[in-house]
Copies of this chain bind each other. A is one copy, B any other.
Amino acid sequence: MALAAASRGLLHAGSRLGRREVVDGARRFANKRVLVETEDTSGIAVMKFKNPPVNSLSLEFLTEFVISLEKLENDKTFRGVILTSDLPGIFSAGLDLREMYGRNPAHYTEYWKAVQELWLRLYLSKLVLVSAINGASPAGGCLMALTCDYRIMADNPKYTIGLNESLLGIVAPFWLKDNFVNTIGHRAAERALQLGMLFPPAEALKLGVVDEVVPEDQIHSKVRSVMVKWLAVPDHSRQLTKSMMRKATADNLLKQREADIQNFVSFISRDSIQKSLHVYLEKLKQKRG
């Protein structure tokens, strides 16, 4: 059975996580933090982030997500995946700062490898990926959206999307920068990254951070109709085309993956950075009361 196919590579240890249920006539492949809803007939699966309170990309979330994605990737039933959030008002708040604060270098190494893995798997996915951005999507939330083939955002001015790392005192990794430059161009990326800009839907659309903005209650029907259009293209030529467009950017990370990890670990271990993260985390705690 394809869904049960053993996952390979880095994250094989997690292959026991999956449980299968049948809910409302659809197969549901439920982990704790990523709900996978599938329909056999359409070839479409939906991955719903459910990691309260804000879908932070914790190490556990990343591990489950990549395993779930790999299963879909290896199951010929599925040709397209919709990424969306199961939590109201938040797509994903991005990297989990608690994984980056007060831990040891071995932990930082493991965490950053998992972040790289998430991006690589998504960016190079053979599946059609469409994101239904139904909530705020800063930093790592924006990262997941940027890897998709098409991005649809709910038209709610409270939601913003962007790479705001610089405002937190940190820097987006070069491969995410490359992905961003590919998406909105060099100049717009340079400005947005330096200023740590978060864009409401209308501005995100104008700049090309997202491809379409729709009323919030229509986002799931819209994302489905867009997916149908993408699935009308023969898989093999679409996949070869996608690979041709993205290979150079992904190779840029693959050929210096270790150096990128070392760079992250040494940066995040600095006293000044740990101090900034401490201040920020304390603020968050107070805010959440």
In the bound complex, how far is the Cα of B187 from the Cα of A186, in angstroms? 12
Q: Contact: B194 with A241, CB < 8 Å? A: yes
Indicate if A191 sits at the interface (CB-CB under 8 A): yes
CB distance from A135 to the nearest CB of B (A): 23
Indicate if A224 sits at the interface (CB-CB under 8 A): no
Q: Contact: B234 with A194, CB < 8 Å? A: no
In the bound complex, how far is the Cα of B174 from the Cα of A183, in angstroms? 19
Q: Contact: A165 with B237, CB < 8 Å? A: yes
Chain B positions within 8 Å of A174 at CB level: 244
Q: Contact: B190 with A245, CB < 8 Å? A: yes
Interface residues of A in 166-183 (CB under 8 A from B): 166-172, 174, 177, 181-183
Chain B positions within 8 Å of A242 at CB level: 190, 194
11 extra interface residue pairs, beta carbon distance < 8 Å, beyond A167-B237, A177-B244, A195-B230? A149-B190, A165-B237, A166-B238, A172-B241, A172-B244, A183-B187, A185-B185, A190-B245, A194-B238, A194-B245, A236-B272
- In the assembled complex, 24 residue pairs joining A and B whose CB atoms fall closer than 8 Å, in A order, are A149-B191, A165-B237, A165-B241, A166-B233, A166-B238, A167-B233, A168-B237, A169-B234, A171-B237, A171-B244, A172-B244, A182-B186, A182-B187, A182-B190, A183-B186, A184-B187, A185-B185, A187-B208, A190-B246, A194-B233, A194-B241, A194-B245, A195-B229, A196-B233
